[in-house]
A = this chain, B = another copy of it.
Amino acid sequence: MAGWIRIIGLGPGSDGLLTPDALRWLELATDVVGYHPYVSRVPARPGLSLHPSDNREELVRARHALSMAQAGRYVAVVSGGDAGVFGMASAVFEAVESGDPAWAGLDIEVVPGISACLAAAARAGAPLGHDFCVLSLSDNLKPWDLLLHRLRAAAEAGFAMALYNPVSAARPWQLDEAFDVLRALLPGEVPVIFARAVTRPDEKLLVCPLREAKAALADMRTLVLICTEATRLIAKSSDECWVYAPRSVTRS
A interface residues, tally (CB under 8 Å):
79
A4 at the interface (CB under 8 A from B): no
How many copies of this chain? 2
Q: How far is the CB of A110 from chain B (nearest CB, A)?
A: 4
A30 at the interface (CB under 8 A from B): no
With A19-B114, A97-B234 as contacts: A132 and B133 at CB distance below 8 Å: yes
A115 at the interface (CB under 8 A from B): yes
Name the contact of A129 in the complex, choosing from B11, B20, B86, B247 (C-beta under 8 A).
Answer: B86
Name the contact of A111 in the complex, choosing from B122, B141, B246 (C-beta under 8 A).
Answer: B122
Majority DSSP secondary structure for residues of A touching B: mixed
Q: How far is the CB of A105 from chain B (nearest CB, A)?
A: 7
Q: Which of A61-113 contact B (CB under 8 A)?
A: 82-86, 89-94, 96-97, 104-105, 108-113
> Which chain B positions have C-beta within 8 A of A85?
118, 128-129
